[in-house]
């Protein structure tokens, strides 16, 4: 079996240059950051845990939102031929196989590679403006997705403060772990020192950015999102190379959706960014999707998707689909819907042949909602969905590719592979997860006035089986 990317000279050359500096070298510690301003945490790369930002340091140096003392210590290790422990995901990949790890892929990105020499010859104490920034200004959100939590949703926070955690073995979404890790969100109506520091840093950061992505919460409910959009519109010398993205559930009030469209149109018409991407989320079709994502009106959501694609001729819309146990029964219908959008909005002035992209990623946590809890009889359904996407991958017209791309198809196939894999003690773990599945959704129905078996008759027998599970001490 060939190594992933072994024929790509870019990855080979990138790894060689990194290794020449040190066995643990990775440019992402300088060039990339995710800022969770609602909790005052950050990380560079999604593999390490987030760490706290010093609220005192950012008063003197706003760029310490990214250039934390903790992170600089990790940079020092990398520049001195050491491997930071927090980056062990990549070390595990490299030490157990001949595959490239994410440190190579991230360092080879267009927002990293051009700064290779500058970083390799830098002093670890120096500040560095990241080129890829993902920021959440607050946890304000009008949805309560079943797999989300208080750190990212104010409506989840309200529920947990009223009712407490769920009666699962891990006390799902209890505030205890947020308190322990100092991750209790600052309420979006209160002053936030981390947001204040961001706006002090922003004028210096803006022109260095390659990619800027606003997440949440729901960004359209944050005044800071609108402040960013207005800033881009008002600049006499905009960063025209900027890749700009907003995550949105597209379930905000109509006046905010219309306002968002107006801002997009002006940014597009005046060519103030290189590309504008909207990342939206839905995990299956219709009532099933509404059950997973409390607050979702599916028909209105779908209308808003069409509205944006119709009115914003250069925007790309990516559906981030967190594929979970409740996605399976109706995902084929969802694939049909995505395909129809591709047919209608393919070609034209878009950056891609199609304005619509599907990113199907399997849910890994909470474990009680992953596809791995489902009986084997559902394996074939997931496999057939991958086959169906593959069938729809054929071009509709000559020289006009509007179907599912190979990467979209492979991501669904990867879900099947993950579903059927075995591991040590799988049977015992799945029993616990199924027990928690019933405990969570039974409580979900009580708190939210929903009815699992009415919405998912296909899973009713499985739900009843889970309700009869009695846990024994030896399972823990």
Instruction: State phi, psi for 470 to the nearest 5 degrees.
Output: -115, 120
pLDDT category at 353 given cuts 50, 70, 90 is: low
Give the residue from 328, 329, 354 showing the smallest Cα distance to 408. 354
Mean local confidence (pLDDT), 250-257 = 97
Asked if 149 contacts 39 with a C-beta cutoff of 8 angstroms, the reply is: no
Mean local confidence (pLDDT), 179-191 = 89
* Cα 196 to Cα 40, 65, 398, distances in angstroms: 12, 11, 53
Mean local confidence (pLDDT), 349-363 = 75
Other Cβ atoms less than 10 A from the Cβ of 361: the count is 12
Asked if 66 contacts 42 with a C-beta cutoff of 8 angstroms, the reply is: yes
Q: What pLDDT sits at residue 400?
A: 58
Name 473's bridge partners: none
Q: What pLDDT sits at residue 395?
A: 62
Mean local confidence (pLDDT), 301-305 = 98
- Say which residues have a Cβ less than 8 Å from residue 97's Cβ, sequence separation at least 6: 3
pLDDT over threshold 70, residue 476: no
The span from the CA of 27 to the CA of 14, in Å, is 10
Tokens coding 9:
């000279």
CA angle 55–57–63, rounded 5-degree value: 100
Q: What pLDDT sits at residue 1?
A: 29
Query: 101-153, pLDDT tens digit by residue?
Result: 889 999 999 999 999 999 999 999 999 999 999 999 999 999 999 999 999 99
The span from the CA of 412 to the CA of 409, in Å, is 5
* Cα 100 to Cα 77, 112, 281, distances in angstroms: 21, 16, 30
The span from the CA of 143 to the CA of 1, in Å, is 44
The span from the CA of 356 to the CA of 282, in Å, is 14
* Cα 433 to Cα 168, 211, 367, 373, distances in angstroms: 9, 38, 6, 7
- Beta-strand ranges (E) seen in 5-148 are 32-36, 41-43, 51-52, 132-136, 144-145
Give the residue from 36, 59, 54 showing the smallest Cα distance to 138. 36
Start-to-end CA distance of the chain, whole Å, equals 38
Name 356's bridge partners: 317
Query: 59-79, pLDDT tens digit by residue?
Result: 999 999 999 999 999 999 999
pLDDT category at 7 given cuts 50, 70, 90 is: low
pTM of the model: 0.90
Instruction: State phi, psi for 462 to the nearest 5 degrees.
Output: -65, -40
The span from the CA of 134 to the CA of 228, in Å, is 13
All structural domains of the chain with their residue ranges: 9-130
Tokens coding 208:
């260095």
The span from the CA of 285 to the CA of 248, in Å, is 18
The span from the CA of 28 to the CA of 43, in Å, is 10
Q: What pLDDT sits at residue 458?
A: 97
Task: Note the maximum CA span of the chain.
Answer: 67
The span from the CA of 393 to the CA of 140, in Å, is 38
Query: 47-63, pLDDT tens digit by residue?
Result: 899 999 999 999 999 99
Q: What percent of the chain has pLDDT over 90?
A: 78
């Amino acid at each position: 079996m060939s190594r992933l990317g072994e024929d790509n000279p870019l990855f080979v050359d990138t790894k060689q240059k990194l290794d020449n500096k040190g066995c643990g070298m990775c440019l992402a510690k300088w060039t990339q950051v995710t800022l969770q301003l609602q909790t005052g945490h950050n990380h560079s790369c999604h593999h390490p845990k987030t760490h706290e930002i010093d609220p005192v340091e950012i008063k003197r140096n706003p760029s310490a939102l990214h250039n934390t003392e903790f992170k600089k210590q990790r940079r020092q290790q990398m520049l001195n031929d050491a491997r930071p422990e927090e980056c062990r995901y990549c070390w595990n990949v490299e030490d157990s196989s001949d595959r490239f790890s994410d440190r190579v892929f991230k360092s080879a990105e267009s927002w990293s590679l051009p700064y290779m020499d500058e970083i390799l010859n830098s002093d670890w104490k120096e500040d560095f403006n990241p080129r890829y920034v993902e920021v959440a200004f607050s946890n304000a959100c009008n949805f309560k997705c079943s797999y989300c939590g208080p750190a990212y949703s104010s409506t989840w926070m309200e529920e947990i403060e009223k009712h407490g955690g769920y009666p699962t073995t891990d006390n799902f979404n209890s505030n205890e772990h947020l308190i322990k890790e100092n991750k209790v969100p600052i309420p979006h109506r209160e002053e936030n020192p981390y947001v204040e520091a961001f706006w002090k840093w922003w004028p210096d950061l803006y022109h260095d950015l390659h990619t800027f992505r606003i997440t949440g919460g729901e960004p359209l409910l944050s005044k800071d999102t609108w402040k960013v959009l207005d800033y881009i519109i008002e600049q006499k010398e905009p960063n025209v190379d900027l890749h700009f993205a907003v995550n949105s559930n597209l379930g905000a009030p109509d006046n905010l959706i219309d306002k968002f469209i107006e801002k997009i149109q002006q940014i597009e018409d005046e060519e103030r960014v290189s590309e504008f991407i909207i990342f939206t989320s839905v995990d299956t079709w219709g009532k099933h999707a509404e059950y997973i994502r409390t607050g979702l009106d599916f028909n209105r959501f779908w209308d808003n998707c069409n509205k944006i694609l119709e009115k914003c001729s250069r925007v790309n819309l990516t559906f981030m689909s967190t594929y979970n146990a409740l996605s399976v029964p109706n995902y084929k219908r969802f694939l049909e819907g995505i395909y129809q959008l591709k047919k209608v909005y393919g070609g034209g002035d878009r950056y891609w042949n199609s304005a619509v992209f599907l990113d199907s990623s399997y849910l890994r946590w909470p474990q009680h909602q992953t596809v791995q809890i489902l009986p084997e009889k559902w394996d074939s359904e997931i496999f057939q969905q991958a086959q169906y996407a593959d069938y729809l991958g054929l071009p509709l017209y000559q020289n006009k590719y509007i179907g599912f791309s190979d990467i979209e198809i492979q991501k669904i196939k990867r879900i099947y592979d993950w579903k059927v894999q075995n591991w040590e003690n799988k049977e015992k773990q799945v029993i616990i997860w199924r027990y928690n599945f019933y405990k969570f959704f039974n409580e979900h129905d009580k708190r939210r006035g929903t009815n699992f078996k009415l919405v998912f008759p296909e899973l009713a027998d499985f739900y009843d089986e889970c309700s009869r599970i009695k846990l024994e001490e030896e399972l823990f």
